[in-house]
């Protein structure tokens, strides 16, 4: 077994027989990415996903009007991919970019579907993953509905302390739905308030 830690993490989501995991490892390919390199670019078919072994990524949505907003950051142990587009069989509208030299474990969705046909555990795992992603998005929805930019900032760092120092202010702002300038102002306001 090449990735025992990953196996353990997945096994906590749904019962996963080691021999099924072995099959998964057999079809997965490792890939290294340089800083700024894209794992997925907008327009690509959303036919693969990955687990981050090392590094940090940002999922950027480039809107028709040219604005960039950030859907998520992904670090070690997390899933990488244009999930929504995959589910809808649409080309990716998301760019997924390494913010550091990174290392990932790539799966073709096709291969994964093959695994699903072989054992129910994969179906169950996919369900858990979908459910967890849903819970996260709903939490984010709440934050937009109820919180100011400043409150969202505080929550962001509470929930993602491991990203400290690894992502730019500009990107944090794009994640919160505000501009770099506004974020800077908010931070200086807080600094002053704390004397």
Partner DNA sequence: CCTCCGCCTTAACCCAGGTCAAGCCCAGGT
Partner DNA sequence: ACCTGGGCTTGACCTGGGTTAAGGCGGAGG
The tokens describing 107, both together, are 């799966």
Cβ nearer to a copy of itself, comparing 8 with 141: 141
* Single residue of 29, 101, 181, 190 touching DNA by CB under 7 A: 181
Q: According to the binding rule CB under 7 A, does residue 179 interact with DNA?
A: yes
Phi and psi at 99, nearest 5°, equal -95, -10
Angle value at C-alpha 61, between 159 and 170, nearest 5 degrees: 55
The entry of a copy of itself, DNA, none that residue 169 binds, CB within 5 to 8 Å by partner kind: DNA
- Closest distance between DNA and the C-beta of residue 72, in Å? 18
Is 182 a residue that touches DNA (CB under 7 A)?
yes
User: 108 or 179: whose CB is closer to DNA?
Assistant: 179
Q: Applying CB under 8 A, which of residues 87, 114, 169, 190 lies at the interface with a copy of itself?
A: 87
User: What element of type H or E holds 121?
Assistant: helix 120-146
Number of residues interacting with DNA: please give it, by CB under 7 A: 18
Q: Under a CB-based contact definition with an 8 Å cutoff, are residues 150 and 183 in contact?
A: no
Strands (E), 12-150: 29-33, 38-40, 48-54, 57-62, 68-74, 79-80, 94-98, 102-108
Using CA atoms, how far apart are residues 11 and 137, in angstroms rounded to an integer? 23
Site size with a copy of itself, rule: CB under 8 A: 31
Binding site for a copy of itself (CB under 8 A): 61, 63, 65, 67, 69, 71, 83-84, 87-88, 120, 123-124, 126-127, 130-135, 137-142, 144-146, 177
């Amino acid at each position: 077994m090449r990735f025992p830690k990953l196996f353990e993490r997945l096994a906590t989501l749904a019962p996963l027989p080691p021999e099924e995991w072995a099959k998964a490892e057999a079809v997965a390919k490792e890939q290294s990415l340089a800083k700024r390199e894209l794992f997925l670019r907008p327009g690509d078919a959303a036919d693969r996903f990955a687990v981050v072994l090392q590094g940090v990524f940002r999922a950027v949505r480039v809107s028709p009007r040219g604005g960039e907003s950030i859907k998520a950051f992904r670090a070690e142990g997390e899933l990488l991919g244009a999930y929504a587009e995959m589910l809808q069989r649409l080309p990716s509208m998301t760019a997924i970019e390494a913010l550091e030299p990174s290392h990932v474990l790539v799966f073709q969705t096709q291969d994964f579907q093959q695994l699903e046909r072989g054992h129910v555990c994969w179906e169950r795992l996919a369900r858990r993953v979908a459910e967890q992603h849903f819970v996260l998005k709903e939490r984010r929805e709440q934050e937009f509905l109820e919180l100011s930019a400043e409150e969202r900032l505080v929550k962001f760092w509470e929930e993602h302390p491991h990203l400290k120092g690894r992502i730019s202010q500009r990107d944090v702002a794009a994640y919160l739905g505000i501009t770099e300038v506004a974020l800077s102002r908010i931070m200086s306001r807080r600094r002053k308030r704390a004397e």
